[in-house]
Amino acid sequence: MEQLKTIGRELAMGSQGGFGQSKEFLELVKSIGEARSKAEEDRIVVREIETLKRRIVEPDIPKRKMKEYIIRLLYVEMLGHDASFGYIHAVKMTHDDNLLSKRTGYLALTLFLNDDHDLIILIVNTIQKDLKSDNYLVVCAALNAVCRLINEETIPAVLPSVVDLLAHPKDAVRKKAVMALHRFHLKSSSSVSHLVSNFRKKLCDNDPGVMGATLCPLFDLIALDPSSYKDLVVSFVSILKQVAEHRLPKSYDYHQMPAPFIQIKLLKILAVLGSGDKQASEHMYTVIGEIIRKGDSSSNIGNAILYECICCVSSIYPNHKLLEAAADVNAKFLKSDSHNLKYMGIDALGRLIKITPHVAEQHQLAVIDCLEDPDDTLKRKTFELLYKMTKSSNVEVIVDRMIDYMISISDDHYKTYIASRCVELAEQFAPSNHWFIQTMNKVFEHAGDLVNIKVAHNLMRLIGEGFGEDAATADNQLRSSAVESYLRIIGEPKLPSMFLQVICWVLGEYGTADGKYSASYITGKLCDIAEAYSNDETVKAYAISALTKMYAFEIAAGRKVDMLPECQSFVEELLASHSTDLQQRAYELQALIGLDARAVETIMPQDASCEDIEVDTDLAFLNGYVQQSLERGALPYIPEDERTGMVNVSNFRSQDQHESAQHGLRFEAYEVPKPPMPSKVATVSLSSSTDLVPVPETLYSRETHQISSAGLSSETGSSELKLKLDGVQKKWGRPTYSSPTSSSNSTSQNPVNGATQTTDVATAVNSKVRDNYDTRKQRIEISPEKQKLAASLFGGSTKTEKRSSTSSKVPKASASVPDRSQESKAAVAPSEVAQGKTIQSSPPPDLLDLDESTITVAPPSVDPFKQLEGLLDPSINSTTNHSSGVTNAPDIMTHYAATPASRESGSGGYSIPVTGDNVNLLSELSNAAVRGTTGETTTTPLPQSVKGPNAKDSLQRDAKVRQMGVTPTSQNPNLFSDLLG
Amino acid sequence: MGIRFVLMVNKQGQTRLAQYYEYLTLDERRALEGEIVRKCLARNEQQCSFVEHRNYKIVYRRYASLFFLVGVDDDENELAILEFIHLLVETMDRHFGNVCELDIMFHLEKAHFMLEEMVMNGCIVETSKSNILTPIQLMDKTS
């Protein structure tokens, strides 16, 4: 009704009064609203641009009219067209005395301009003036503009006024002044570095709005440097406590929840402050526990807060009770039917498992459901979780899944992302080189152009280096399997360039190494590649080099080389190539063929790709020369990144070393801000605290690693260390986090690797057995595939629990055997196997020690998943299904659905109270009578009004339509539908 | 930074309000709006109200024919943003009374003013409806 009156009034006033809009504007909005296609909309806007260009330059345009033109300009830009011809008029309008015009002018400018636009300089003066205005609304309008339009250069022009406004009597002004300062901090932190203490002060502002706004800049500041704000922990905690206890004004409530957005911001801040800080965290435990306890898991906003609590709990110093409470909340999320909650649950689970890895176990099936959900968002989130859970025991399953998904999507952005994830995981956890190569092949085949070139180089290096000296035969096997797979893949159409480079290189090096394929066969294939991808010069370069190698090996082996005609023509083509690189390679090939066997063998020895490249990244051979020069008084070399910006520090360091023979000046005063060391210490302590629970050994090794590297850097200066890290020293798999199990590179660790696999089998079996047991009670219809997947994903996830599980789960398993045997005989066999397995693996009491003497070297080829397949007889599941109880009755909680349309949701819809219906109807009728419209209005409902659910709605729509002068058509009936249903 | 943009787009993919908290050129905006609207329209009601797009996460909510889309950073609480959208709609509803798409079209600048009060520098700064609406009502009165 309110609206009807408004519109009626506007129309009545026409173009001469109030804040009304002209007929022209109404027509524009109407036509845009009814446009059926983007093309139609574009036509309307183009026409509108022409009109505006003409009108806006007319002399003596009334203010109100001008404001309308500016809003029409907003439409033009919003719908994707250029309105720059009118920017200057928006600038002029900011000079207006009328508040509404002024604010509209500012608004238009914030929407039109970036802060480096030339016009900005024209409004700085206006802003300065407005910031000093007596009318606080003018000041607010100016501050809004400050937050969008003031750039680094113009900050000084307004800074003093903004600082003064921090003490303005109006809270709205103080709030915006705080945010303006925040903006300056974001734009150029140095310009306001002396003013950050103001944020601390404003935290204690007696207006909750100002306090709430101040949390934003404080959060940014704290995220940058938590240590300087530890003293505020107590204040934040006490604010949070008060907010949660409903001490803020009622107007901050949202669906009966006290100031939820402020609570969430505070929890975010506490999460940062408490991270790795036991003392700070202890202040927080009570209030967080209280919020979780009182948490309302029936509304979206309640769950938003609960989710933030989980994030906070998993970030701060671990507290057992809170973690348990968080896990309980998370379980509710994961069990919910709402996809939104599941999504949050998966995310939260990813956070929780960092501290308590075992929580993932009870949610295996929920996680798998999410993984298999058709909803991409949920699926991707789940991949994110799996990425965090990956270890050498489940890497194959996870990477396979990721690759399958990668193949299925077409979104390049995400494809790149997930491909890099696959590569990263494969490099870290690859169980075997063979698997690694197969995986890389798949990644290259399907996302080859999206992955980093380094990945290709790593793959080539791996194939070239192999395992090392001891396993020559394994290396050869690996290579011939690579060659074979590549020869197979070559036939595929449209391979990515990078993959072809790898293929050419490998074929050139090892194509004939095992004698299975003849040189002419391989060279023929190489020429095919070069021909098929003739516009890719890099591939051609790789191909010709490969050809050179092939012929060199043939000559060295004393065989006669007869070039295939297509090879000859390929070489000839390259001899005349525009690319000097290709040309040179071709000439080299020609020259090489003319040489005798011995010479060729020295130039191009077989399988020497690893030996002959020795790059000394440190340029150590120059050390003597450098030393000499230094002794003669030359200046020491300063790495480039230190020369810029860090001049002081590096100067200081160099002086430290040489005791300042040359420089008279000393720069001690600058030493203090040297940041790296303290932060390094902080990360060490952080990682130790978070990892303390799960795997102490890993922690130890990592810690020592970090400490040693830290020590190194402090001794020799970080420049050397940096160089080395970038250089070649890195093996294909980078040093991994779970150091003992991962790198299958070194032979000494192979038995260890095998041993872990067996233990994984054991745990997998254990959890499997228990799984089945639990399943009987809880779940209906879980397909064997899912269970298998669960076992392979989560099987190895509970290293810490192993000891207890081996002992305690066995009786359970055996207890369940008789049950099953009564139901089906087929089920007995697998469960017996399971039992056997558990017993078999239980003798080594301390699995975590991985003592090689106690564990017989298990063959690394044991595939845990293969074994599991045997265990998972479908009949078990069918029996499980029969015997499963009814505990799966739908939880009321899970019924909560966050449907976007609030129409059916109980999440605090703002719907019209039913009792008001009559009143509305009555008043509307009387209204219609007053207007003198004929009775027809009520009797002939128009097409779109029929859509309304009841008579009242139809009436309302109809009346509105008539009043607005918008001829109702069925084109866009939705324009009139209430957003809040 | 938190919130990177707020968009209102109807079922036909026509933009009804757009506010970006980082500068994008017209072409970038056009492309972005087209892409995300297509993505969101393709989803059904059972699916998450969140979509990843490039380096944004988009939280969206549908009211009648109008989609509210908020692009956020990776570390934002999606559920809270979902409720922020609802708060925005409730606030507009309080001001316009049974707010509909046409209200936003006719009073584009007011919808922007409300957003200006609620979000600054990409952060949620005000969530009290009366605080949000007071300046707007005062402006109406004085002009």
For B23, which residue in chain A has the nearest alpha carbon?
Answer: A114
Average pLDDT on A971-976 reads 70
Of A775, A952, A759, whose CA–CA distance to A879 is shortest? Answer: A775
Delimit the domains of chain B by residue range.
Answer: 3-142
CB contact (8 A) between residue A179 and residue B105: no
pLDDT of residue A814: 41
Given a contact cutoff of 8 angstroms between Cβ atoms, the answer to whether A600 and A550 are in contact is no
Give the C-alpha separation, A509 to A503, whole Å: 10
Name the residue type at position A169: P
Using CA of residue A81, residue A86, residue A91, residue A95, what is the dihedral sign?
negative
pLDDT of residue A951: 54
3-state secondary structure of A580: helix
Beta-strand pair B15-20/B3-10: antiparallel
Give the C-alpha separation, B59 to A340, whole Å: 10
The predicted-structure confidence for A248-263, as pLDDT tens digits, reads as follows 999 999 999 999 999 9
pLDDT of residue B107: 94
Name the residue type at position A388: K
Chain A interface disruption, residue of B128, B132, B137, B141, most A CBs within 10 A: B128
The CA distance from A307 to the nearest CA of chain B, in Å, is 8
Which residue would you say has higher pLDDT here, A560 or A107? Answer: A107
Given a contact cutoff of 8 angstroms between Cβ atoms, the answer to whether B114 and B91 are in contact is yes
The predicted-structure confidence for B66-79, as pLDDT tens digits, reads as follows 999 999 998 899 99
From the list B49, B101, B120, the residue facing A340 with the nearest CB is B49
pLDDT of residue A392: 86
Interface of A with B in 10-39 (CB under 8 A): 19, 21, 26, 29, 32-33, 35-38
From the list A98, A251, A304, the residue facing B80 with the nearest CB is A304
CB contact (8 A) between residue B127 and residue A216: no
Judged by average pLDDT, the poorest of A24-38, A180-194, A761-775 is: A761-775
Of A75, A70, A76, whose CA–CA distance to A94 is shortest? Answer: A70
Contact list in B for residue A75 (CB cut-off 8 A) is: 108
pLDDT of residue A672: 53
Does A668 have pLDDT greater than 90? Answer: no
Judged by average pLDDT, the poorest of A36-45, A105-114, A530-539, A633-642 is: A633-642
Which residue would you say has higher pLDDT here, A978 or A316? Answer: A316
Give the C-alpha separation, A275 to A257, whole Å: 27
Q: Give the pLDDT band of residue A930 (cuts 50, 70, 90).
A: very low
Beta-strand pair B119-120/B50-53: unpaired
**Lookup: tokens for A968:** 């109702």
Give the C-alpha separation, A539 to A545, whole Å: 10
Average pLDDT on A564-576 reads 89
Which residue would you say has higher pLDDT here, A512 or A968? Answer: A512
Does A492 have pLDDT greater than 60? Answer: yes
3-state secondary structure of A297: coil
The predicted-structure confidence for A843-862, as pLDDT tens digits, reads as follows 443 333 344 443 444 444 44
Contact list in B for residue A896 (CB cut-off 8 A) is: none
A103 touches B at CB < 8 Å:
yes
Q: Give the pLDDT band of residue A954 (cuts 50, 70, 90).
A: low
From the list A21, A35, A144, the residue facing B14 with the nearest CB is A35
Average pLDDT on A686-709 reads 41
Name the residue type at position A859: P
Which residue would you say has higher pLDDT here, A731 or A402? Answer: A402
Give the C-alpha separation, B1 to A200, whole Å: 20
Contact list in A for residue B96 (CB cut-off 8 A) is: 2-3, 6
Residues 6+ apart with CB under 8 A from A298: A893, A896
Interface of A with B in 172-211 (CB under 8 A): 172, 175-176, 179, 182-183, 186, 209
Q: Is A814 exposed, middle or buried (0-12, 13-18, 19+ CB in 10 A)?
A: middle
Interface of B with A in 99-138 (CB under 8 A): 99-103, 105-106, 108-109, 112-113, 116, 120-121, 123-131, 134-135, 138
CB contact (8 A) between residue A907 and residue B93: no
Which residue would you say has higher pLDDT here, A551 or A897? Answer: A551
> Among all chains, which residue has been given the structure tokens 């890895």?
A357
Of the segments A270-274, A678-682, A761-765, which one has the largest average pLDDT value?
A: A270-274
A848 touches B at CB < 8 Å:
no
Which residue would you say has higher pLDDT here, A391 or B79? Answer: B79
Give the C-alpha separation, A736 to A745, whole Å: 12
pLDDT of residue A656: 47
Does A319 have pLDDT greater than 60? Answer: yes
For B129, which residue in chain A has the nearest alpha carbon?
Answer: A251
A223 touches B at CB < 8 Å:
no
Does A519 have pLDDT greater than 70? Answer: yes
Give the C-alpha separation, A96 to A103, whole Å: 9
Of A949, A934, A684, whose CA–CA distance to A959 is shortest? Answer: A934
Which residue would you say has higher pLDDT here, A709 or A519? Answer: A519
From the list A41, A303, A413, the residue facing B14 with the nearest CB is A41
CB contact (8 A) between residue B139 and residue A104: no
Average pLDDT on A891-901 reads 38
Does A399 have pLDDT greater than 50? Answer: yes
Does B17 have pLDDT greater than 60? Answer: yes
Q: Is A204 left (phi over 0), alpha (psi -120 to 50) or beta?
A: alpha
A163 bridge partner residues: none
CB contact (8 A) between residue A29 and residue B105: yes
Of the segments A284-288, A352-356, A931-935, B35-39, which one has the largest average pLDDT value?
A: A284-288
In chain A, the percentage of residues whose pLDDT exceeds 90 is 38
pLDDT of residue A138: 96
Q: Give the pLDDT band of residue A127 (cuts 50, 70, 90).
A: very high
Name the residue type at position A684: V
Beta-strand pair B119-120/B123-124: antiparallel
pLDDT of residue A516: 83
pLDDT of residue A590: 87
Does B22 have pLDDT greater than 50? Answer: yes
Give the C-alpha separation, B126 to A176, whole Å: 10
3-state secondary structure of B130: helix
Of A466, A490, A461, whose CA–CA distance to A477 is shortest? Answer: A466
Given a contact cutoff of 8 angstroms between Cβ atoms, the answer to whether A879 and A827 are in contact is yes
Q: Give the pLDDT band of residue A602 (cuts 50, 70, 90).
A: confident
3-state secondary structure of B14: coil
**Contacts from B15-21 at CB under 8 Å and sequence distance 24+?**
B15/A78, B15/A79, B15/A80, B16/B66, B16/B101, B16/B104, B16/B105, B17/A78, B17/B104, B17/B108, B17/B111, B17/B112, B17/B115, B18/A78, B19/A111, B19/B112, B19/B115, B19/B119, B21/B119, B21/B121, B21/B122
Rounded to two decimals, the ipTM of the complex is 0.98
Domain B3-142 sits in CATH at 3.30.450.60
Judged by average pLDDT, the poorest of A707-721, A792-806, B89-103 is: A707-721
pLDDT of residue A454: 82
Residue A595 CB coordination number (10 Å):
16
pTM (2 decimals)? Answer: 0.68
Given a contact cutoff of 8 angstroms between Cβ atoms, the answer to whether A48 and A72 are in contact is yes
3-state secondary structure of A950: coil
Judged by average pLDDT, the poorest of A182-196, A611-625, A650-664, A893-907 is: A893-907
**Lookup: tokens for A554:** 């043939």
Give the C-alpha separation, A772 to A792, whole Å: 15
Average pLDDT on A939-954 reads 44
Name the residue type at position A397: V
pLDDT of residue A959: 54
